[in-house]
Amino acid sequence: MNIAKIIGYNLRKVQEENNYSQKELGEIIDVTRQTISKYLNGERILDCGKLYKLAKHFNKSIDYFLSQDNNEDDMAFMFRADDLENNFNKILKEQISQRFNYYHEVIEMSDLQIKDYIPEEYNIEIKGDKLSKKEKETIAKIAEKQRRYMGVDDALNVNIFNLFEENNINIMAQEIYDQNLDALSAYSKDKGAFIFINDRKDIPEERKIFSVVHELGHLILHREEYSKDVSQLKYTNSGIKDIREKVADYFAMSFLIPAKVLESYSYYFDGYVDLDLIIEKKKDFGVSAKSLIMALKENGLIDGPTLGALFKFLRKRGFETAEPNPREYIKKNEKLLALVRKLVIEKKITINKAAVVLNIPVSEMRRKAKRWKNSGYNKT
């Protein structure tokens, strides 16, 4: 491929990413739409001065436009998703990859010290299709270590989305019309770790919280499952969870409901335990009723028959999939919004690019930018 074709190819990628028309591209370097068309098609080569203006405008390096390797394999995200056959395909992967890439571009432009964090990996050997007592203890210790690392120790009902982002696990929340997909995770050695969460309003916040921590469990414990190629991804049937899903579930439960904290609640459950008590106390932990019931059973605070009875009551009261007394909606993408706000105010990112990153109309982005500039960094 000759240099004009290479520049044209990369310029077209930038054009599509930023939703620019040929006319708008031409205005940046003071040329006509017809001339831009020739640049995009590789029929004419951009001179250094014009290339510099484009690179500066889009926060790209000159080398970006000259490189044939902007899609090089080691920059691609490695994905995993539960029930892949029904929930994840190449189109969705590309869409979410693009969202993650936009987020990473903002991180790269920011003054954040850590730009590509990937959590520590653990390789634990699991035998059989059920978790043994020793295996559960190992998973719980890893979850406890992660809590300590993130600085929450015995704290309860923390904002998991903000907590993860404060610890450089990037969360991208977006409403997608696929009820089957709750969350998925991905990582790149050059870009760090990302978790995507389906932010549909009809999915309980408790479920979203559990799903995010579940995905962290996979990032830590099942790194070998991740793949760049959708056709190569391993997956589990949603009806029959395999042992990897049980491991991630146990990690999430142990992270959200630490055994030593639950022990301090033992006097509440010493005797008669009904569904109303579960619904009341789940609020302290910020988890679902089902998660708290499972944690009580795992930690010996209720027995098997009590667990079965409580689950039966949940079903009878219409809470098979719905959540009793669900918590209010939690704002998400707050770190991304804060980074974009700072870049907009400092004029390091265009309004068009900011709109693409935040996935909002340009008109809405202009209103936000005006409000931000009138009110300072620390207000919305």
Q: What is the pLDDT of residues 212-271, one digit of tens each?
A: 999 999 999 998 878 766 544 443 333 335 888 999 999 999 999 999 999 999 999 988
For residues 172-198, give the mean pLDDT: 88
- Length of the chain in terms of residues written: 380
Reading across the β-sheet that carries 183-188, which strands appear in turn?
78-80, 183-188, 192-198, 170-174
State pTM to two decimals.
0.77
Host H or E run for residue 304: helix 304-316
**In whole angstroms, what is the distance from residue 298 CA to residue 329 CA?**
29
**In whole angstroms, what is the distance from residue 66 CA to residue 8 CA?**
9
**In whole angstroms, what is the distance from residue 375 CA to residue 367 CA?**
12
Residues 244 and 235: beta-carbon distance below 8 Å: no
| Predicted confidence (pLDDT) per residue in 196-228, tens digit | 999 999 999 999 999 999 999 999 999 887 876
| Predicted confidence (pLDDT) per residue in 44-89, tens digit | 899 888 998 898 888 787 878 887 765 444 446 787 766 555 566 7
State phi, psi for 29 to the nearest 5 degrees: -115, 10
3-state secondary structure of 12: helix
Q: What percent of the chain has pLDDT over 70?
A: 89
- 253 CB-contact burial (10 Å; exposed 0-12 / middle 13-18 / buried 19+): buried
| Predicted confidence (pLDDT) per residue in 271-308, tens digit | 889 999 999 999 999 999 999 999 999 999 999 999 99
Residues 109 and 343: beta-carbon distance below 8 Å: yes
Distances (CA, A) of 347 to 14, 110, 335: 19, 12, 18
- Measured in Å, how far apart are the chain's first and last C-alpha atoms? 47
Strand 183-188 relative to strand 170-174, pairing: unpaired
Measure CA 111 to chain center: 21
| Predicted confidence (pLDDT) per residue in 302-349, tens digit | 999 999 999 999 999 999 889 999 999 999 999 999 999 999 999 999
Give the model's pLDDT for residue 238.
Answer: 37
Give the model's pLDDT for residue 345.
Answer: 95
